Structure 1
């Protein structure tokens, strides 16, 4: 499996991707604007579910947010659930006002 890759357009839209060879097996879609990274959607191919891939995407996204001093608006149900379940891990990047 390839490491997590990021694709970002000039307009601030982008995604983190996981691939197995040429096959996309996971993605996390986001938009960056005004110091916020709004995460909309996380998806892993059904045959790869249960292997921690969504967590890898989450870790890559949080690392990117920290490196670029961004606050994360977790509109994606998976990301929001993880932020609520482990607030101590994500307190520094979590924009709670925007997500509620």
Structure 2
């Protein structure tokens, strides 16, 4: 069973790291400044693609953001696409004003 663990860094980007029986198989890289969580990149090992792992990290990030009253700046193409496809699900946390 896959598990997402948050890895907060004082200096440099933080990440939501995804682990399964094979070890670390994915990550979602982000940074928090003030009340914004900026997602830069989501990656899953090629042999693990298509298993819903990116969605597990997305769900973990969304839960974290809501729990900590943050807004998301989705610079990551995957996260941005999911926010656009399912705007009603994410409108409460999507910071469109700060998007590039």
Fold conserved (TM > 0.5)?
yes
TM-aligned CA distance change 1:29 to 1:85, over 3 Å: same
| Structure 2 residue matching 1:63: 3-state secondary structure | helix
Conservation of the 8 A alpha-carbon contact between 1:38 and 1:73: yes
Specify every segment of 5 or more residues in structure 2 that has no aligned partner in the other structure, as ranges: none
TM-score (norm 1): 0.93
TM-superposed CA distance for 1:99, in Å, is 1.6
- For 1:36-78, what per-residue CA distance to the aligned partner results, in whole angstroms no more than 9, with x for missing partners? 0000000000111001000000000000000000000000000
Matches within 5 A, 1:11-90: 11=11, 13-21=13-21, 23-90=23-90
RMSD: 1.4
TM-score (norm 2): 0.93
The alignment covers a number of residue pairs equal to 100
